[in-house]
Chain A
């Protein structure tokens, strides 16, 4: 059907609302309470527009003297978020209607009369729809001269979320999210009128696995993250599109970095993967990207150079026949890393490749998956190339029986569970490629620091068979050129100079992507590894690196059964 917004005609399908059409065709209609992932409440009144429908006469649409349809305008402005469009409907936004412009100013003035206006100390400043809408559509000042309402401040709603009732504008997005999406009705609005605010039941917490999404959807700074509060102004951080590696859901995220430290991770919209959401656990799993890192190669606890490390690696793997070497591949590493590992050791004659199982619990109603490893599906694709995988159990007994004597662990921690100190004593050598310090790095002979998913570029395949990219959000000590091009930059990264002491990178790790460690000069970039593997793996034959983009691509359904096989 045809509809007209601000005198421009658009062709639309279905029964969309005015706001849906407007955002699709790029007409901005300011709003607060509307969220595409939630039911419509129509309470903020920010999205008011004028709307009208063609007048129908006996012979269809009535025309005026100029041959244009006569429009019956609604007597009052209507909410764009809740009004469905119909054939021939006309809409005037603030661009063409004085009434709408005035209405927007009025609503914003009202919202602000009891709002504390504490933007200078508010985490939301810089990414605040209230700030932005006020700047663009608000009045120039306020005529309110009374004391503002006072309401509870610094309320700990739960382990992760802090609430400031004075900043709250009662849009009820958080309440609707908890009820409709998280299916955990832990929040409500209490009281009424301008005394109302959101709350949990006294003594109960907002502690569902998705609680922190309310922070993202809060259009003001009323709901903030306990972990991120006052850590940075949003404009000081770089934001990098990546994916969460907390489980096999592969939620799309933005990784926020200041001074090379990851300060927060927030969900990024992807309709087929995670819509607008992510779980708290995935969101808070970033500390290991900053802390407890393996930095620089070491041999028996002594720091060595990368060249020395390469030599040690071939010494140790050359000290026994290739059949006695086991290589643990990693569902936490990229497809490229795993491909490089398998290619490398296969060429050396290794036949025992191992993969661990990381399932725990069961899938929930929304995103959380039982399979806690993000790239199990990629290993499945590589299974044939590896000649099958041994399980953790099989590995343990083969070590005990003395069949396997050198162990290479890639981004896994076998001595953190699958293997014991008895196995360690039975092994001649242990080599660990690892991002973080753990039981395995402390008992390994050779430790090779690996880049985390926040420092590398590469692909993961989630439980639904969607191929997606992680992208570098922070830098490494010796950064590969191909990574540098992709690394997110903040304003400071671009403009600070070397004497700006607050703009100096911290948490710089001496690590490399595993493919780079193993391939030497063979590959210059993850992209090259990918082109190679895409040629080799039938499921990826038709996939090109660039088309993966930031949204990912669904692999051929044919590959799906493969990916779900344990």
Chain B
């Protein structure tokens, strides 16, 4: 069962105050829930969000499922999100993706059996000037090369 921590309940109250309607707090509260739940939103977590905001669970899942950054499935400790949009592709994003696929023995969207990595392709990250780029969880790693990827994996794998 998922229930918000005391601390998060306080944060939620603060979020609610930022908007003229309670419904508007649904995105920030989904963020809080995702963070508390280990970087993904389980059905229970979504229901808890609906509960604290007095919204219908159907509505909340409708909102959550629209956005790509709310994870509807568990993700690994490190979520590698490689941009494959235009500027990154022009600068070799496909090569980075293939390299990662081989290194991690994963196809896009999968998680390693040890739960360390989830590997996803994402749309333009706004790093076109420092392409190719990826995010590891919330952190940007830019100007990627295969060597840089290898180093990163070594670092993270420790």
Contacts and interface: CB of A to CB of B under 8 A. Distances in A.
A204 B62 CA distance: 14
A201 B61 contact: yes
Contact of A185 (B43, B46, B58): B58
Nearest to A187: B58
Contact of A202 (B43, B56, B62): B43
Interface in B8-50: 43, 46-47
B74 to A, nearest CB: 16
Nearest to B56: A185
B58 A204 contact: yes
Interface residues of A, number: 14
Nearest to A206: B58
B27 to A, nearest CB: 15
B59 interface: yes
Contacts, number: 36
B150 to A, nearest CB: 34
B71 interface: no
A188 B61 contact: yes
B65 interface: yes
A204 B65 CA distance: 17
Interface in A199-238: 199-204
Contacts of A537: none
Contacts of B46: 201
Contacts of A204: 57-58
Given A201-B47, A202-B43, A203-B43, A185 B59 contact: yes
Interface residues of B, number: 12
B65 A201 contact: no
B65 A190 contact: yes
B52 to A, nearest CB: 16
B65 A191 contact: yes
A188 B62 contact: yes
A187 B59 CA distance: 7
A191 B61 CA distance: 9
Contacts of B57: 201, 204
Contacts of A40: none
Interface in B71-107: none
Chain B CB within 10 A, most for which of A188, A199, A202: A188
B58 A186 contact: yes
A203 B57 CA distance: 11
Contacts of A565: none
B59 A188 contact: yes
B43 A190 contact: no
A192 interface: yes
Given A201-B47, A203-B43, A190 B56 contact: no
B36 to A, nearest CB: 20
Contacts of B65: 190-192
A72 interface: no
Contacts of A203: 43
A189 B58 CA distance: 9
A200 B66 contact: no
B22 to A, nearest CB: 14
B43 A200 contact: no
9 contacts: A185-B58, A187-B58, A188-B58, A188-B62, A190-B66, A192-B66, A199-B58, A202-B43, A204-B57
Interface of B: 43, 46-47, 56-62, 65-66
Interface of A: 185-192, 199-204
Shortest 6 CB-CB distances between A and B: which pairs?
Answer: A188-B62, A201-B57, A185-B56, A188-B58, A190-B65, A201-B58
